[in-house]
Structure 1
Amino acid sequence: MIPQHFEKCEIDHRGQRLIEEMARRRLDFILLMDPCNYYYVTGFPIGVLKGTFGALVSADGNVFWIGRKTDMSNVKALIEADWSGDRHEIGAEIADDQDPYAAVGEAIERIAPHGTRIGFELAKAVIPPRGLTQIAAALPGREVVNAAGLIEPMRAVKSAAELTYMRRSGQIAAEATRAALDGLLPGASEADLAANLIGHAIRAGAEPFSLEPFVCSGPRSALAHSTWTMAPLRPGTIINTELAPPVARYSAPLFRVSVIGPPGDDICRLHDASRAGLLAGLERIGPGMTCHDADAVVRETIARLGYARMFPVRAAYGVGINFAPDWSEENVASIRPGNQTLLEPGMCFHLVPALYQPGWVAPAAA
């Protein structure tokens, strides 16, 4: 009932890496509440967003699931699955009339003995300050520490299985974008395009989106991450589409800029500059470079063509595991100025030489 996306040996390897890193940081337990991280470590592919939910992992690799009672049906299915092994158990089922953070603290208090050191993922907004205070208050005699950034470096280099899922996501994104744009009828709106985009992606195998596709046109095309309205798609103006269809909760986003009919000269010049940055990145960025130097490859190419002021973003952001509310792995890897992280084979990025000019409206082609 709970899908198995990876061989047990791969999940076991990830678990062993976690145990080794916990030992290095002197952690007896770590509470994983970021769905991306508990999926990576355990293979549990469900992002529970309503209520409080997470996995308390011990230094010997046992996993105690703590969360809202109604969502524990998924955990029970995981425990019953042949591939999950015998290291999973339910740590606490939280009823809707309980204070969730007090209940999490009480559950950890039962599982983690006095004198233990417990790590929390404080870099993600999964526990509000009030919740962290309540959890810590329930844990006298235990040390609560920040374990942010423990799992993310492990996720940076993708395995063969992960790359397979990402390639399929990219194929679905390309197929859906092409089909949705080719199928536009006269008088179609942004909403029509979005519906076609989502429908094609789902029929091709996409799982539920963690973040809706971005679809906008005309003057709103210069507004970052703006999405569809009922506005009609007019010939000669820019249409932005971007989507990241999950496959086994992995995705390869695709951003495309289109025009109905012949584009105007200004649009063509913008396209040429963006394309030059993209091709420079694809041709010259590679393992051994720093993320800073990789960003410069794209940025300097666009600057030489006179469009530096229209390129306000980092050249690329990391991609991989995809759970709401985002599809990026910005916290795992980012090709941006000042980042001295070295690129390695198997890292995955969405290269986006997006050019923005607020308030600019492209004239229709003559």
Structure 2
Amino acid sequence: MAFSPQEYRERLEKVQTAIQQRGMVGLVVNSPHNICYLTGYHTSGYFAYQVFLVPAEGEPLLLVRELERPNADEYSWLDRDQQAVYLDNEDPPVVTGRWLAKLGWTEAGKPIGIEKTCFTLAVADFEKLCGTASPNTVVDGSGIVDRVRLIKSPQEIAYVRRAAAITDIGMRTGLAALAIGKKELEIAAAIQQAQTLAGSEYPSLPNYLSSGYRMTLGHATATEKVIEAGDVLKFEITSSIRRYTAAMMRTAVMGKPTGKVAEVADLLIRSQDRAFSMMKPGAVAGEIDAAIRQPVLKAGLRKTYYSRVGYSLGIGFPPFSGEWETCDFMEGDTWLLQPGMIFHMIVNANGISFSETILVTETGSERLTSLPRELFVAG
């Protein structure tokens, strides 16, 4: 197990308190991120239906595909009587409905919560779940577990710290491998090998790498494009330990950078430095956002800047590693930073990008990714 049974119990109790406050009989948890957080169970086979039934009081129940049951034994803290399976010739929402009835949820005087925003919950499955919950009603329980996840425990922080060290290794390897005439895929292969040998599991996002005319593309993965003299390259690397992730973005240039590229990079780094110096418990998110966003706009580096400049980071499964739906940095935000929060902080303009994984400490903040934040000049 990634954590002690006691830590899982403490997480469960916090979620159950939130369920009680919402007046629900229980919560149907569909998100692989949230199931992993509460149980330790995980699999890359979450393309198949899986749910964790969390009652307002009492013991929970994990329902997974029969093929995946050994993973529950391997990774979760749950006893066998807290696990159930469905067969491939059964309809999973119907099986879930039978368990809802057996647990007394369908006849309860309080509604059943379900994570409506979960990306793995198909519309057809949701509609069937609503039917099998009858005569009870289903209400939106999205965000309950996600909000509990925002404050990381010491062990969670330790995993992210290890992932950050591997991200540093991967980025250093990629930058060192740069050479005119190489393909982007050759650089990507070196990065991935270094990460794997350093101990990273499969990441929650692919490593992104683009060069030359491709560097302005968002979320661009490596291709057979050949790296040329004068190319500017954009990297974004993510590593994972026990499903906890750390990410970093860097920009490199093949040969002496033009004055404009160097100028943009310098401004982005300076604005981010100011924001990092402001990150501490009680700081207002919108003020940190402005420290990054406003200098970019004022300098005319972007006509508009609507994308988030940071988001909460934690457990990751493809296709995303962040908790951005629950907590991110946007213009005018009023929420406050708290110790134990971890963020992926980003700045970009004209395709030039930098980012770090940042921990909010009791007295300030700590940059977990440690590679110098500067424009890398290769060749």
Structure 1 length-normalised TM: 0.89
Q: Is the aligned partner of 1:94 residue 2:86? A: yes
The 5-angstrom pairing of residues 33-72 of structure 1 reads 33-46=30-43, 48-72=45-69
Map 1:317-328 → 2, pairs under 5 A: 317-328=311-322
| Structure 1 segment 152-171 matched on structure 2, within 5 A | 152-171=146-165
Residue in 2 that maps onto 1:240 = 234
1:212 matched to 2:209: no
Q: Counterpart in 1 of 2:21?
A: 24
| Aligned counterpart for 2:327 among listed residues 316, 333, 341 | 333
Q: Determine if contact 2:180/2:229 at 8 Å carries over to the other structure.
A: no
Per the alignment, residue 75 of structure 1 pairs with 72
The one-letter code sitting in structure 1 at the alignment partner of 2:256 is P
Query: Which deviates further from its counterpart, 193-202 or 63-72?
Result: 63-72
| Structure with greater proportional strand content | 2
Q: Which runs of 5+ in 2 are unaligned?
A: 353-376
Structure 2 contact 199–241 (Cα < 8 Å) conserved? yes
Structure 2 CA distance for aligned equivalents of residues 314 and 114 of structure 1: 40
Paired residue secondary structure (1:246): strand
Quote the residue 2:248 is aligned against: 254
Structure 1 residue 22 displacement after superposition: 1.5
| 1:351 corresponds to which of 345, 350, 354 | 345
The one-letter amino acid of 1:97's match is: N
- The answer to whether the Cα contact below 8 Å between 2:215 and 2:351 also exists between their aligned partners in 1 is no
CA deviation map 1:243-272 (0-9, x unaligned): 211111111101111112222222112211
**1:113, distance to aligned residue in structure 2 (A):** 4.3
1:310 Cα deviation after fit: 6.6
Structure 2: how far apart are the matches of 1:179 and 1:125?
34
**Partner Cα distance (2:105, 2:156) in 1:** 37
In structure 2, C-alpha distance between the alignment counterparts of 1:262 and 1:198, rounded to whole Å: 27
How much does 1:334 deviate?
0.3
- Structure 1 residues 276, 147: closer, same or farther in 2, change over 3 A? same
Match of 1:194 in 2: 188
CA deviation map 1:189-229 (0-9, x unaligned): 11111111111111101011222111111111111111111
In structure 2, how many angstroms separate the alpha carbons of the residues matched to 1:218 and 1:232? 9
By how many angstroms is 1:290 displaced? Answer: 2.2
Q: Is the 2:40–2:75 contact (alpha carbons within 8 Å) kept by the matching residues of 1?
A: no
How far apart are the structure 2 equivalents of 1:123 and 1:51? 17
Count of aligned positions: 352
In structure 2, the partner of 1:297 is: 291
1:62/1:87 contact within 8 Å kept: no
Structure 1, unaligned stretches of length 5 or more?
Answer: 359-363
Q: Does 1:123 align with 2:120?
A: no
Distance across 1 between alignment mates of 2:256 and 2:288: 34
1-structure distance, mates of 2:209, 2:156: 28
Classify 1:183/1:88 alpha carbon distance in 2 versus 1 (closer, same or farther; 3 Å).
farther
Identify if the C-alpha distance between structure 1 residues 187 and 357 changes in structure 2 by more than 3 Å, giving closer, same or farther. closer
Q: Which residue type is aligned with residue 217 of structure 2?
A: L
Asked if the contact 2:185/2:222 (under 8 Å) is kept, the reply is: yes
| Matched position secondary structure for 1:184 | coil
The Cα shift of 1:110 comes to 3.0
Residue 104, structure 1, aligned to residue 82, structure 2: no
Q: Residues 132-154 of structure 1, C-alpha deviation per residue, up to 9 Å, x if partnerless?
A: 11112122222221111111111
1:63 Cα deviation after fit:
2.2
In structure 2, what is the Cα distance between the partners aligned to 1:210 and 1:357?
23
Superposed CA deviations along residues 15-66 of structure 1, whole A, max 9, x for unmatched, are 1111211111122221111111112122224354221012112223422121
Structure 2 letter corresponding to 1:356? N
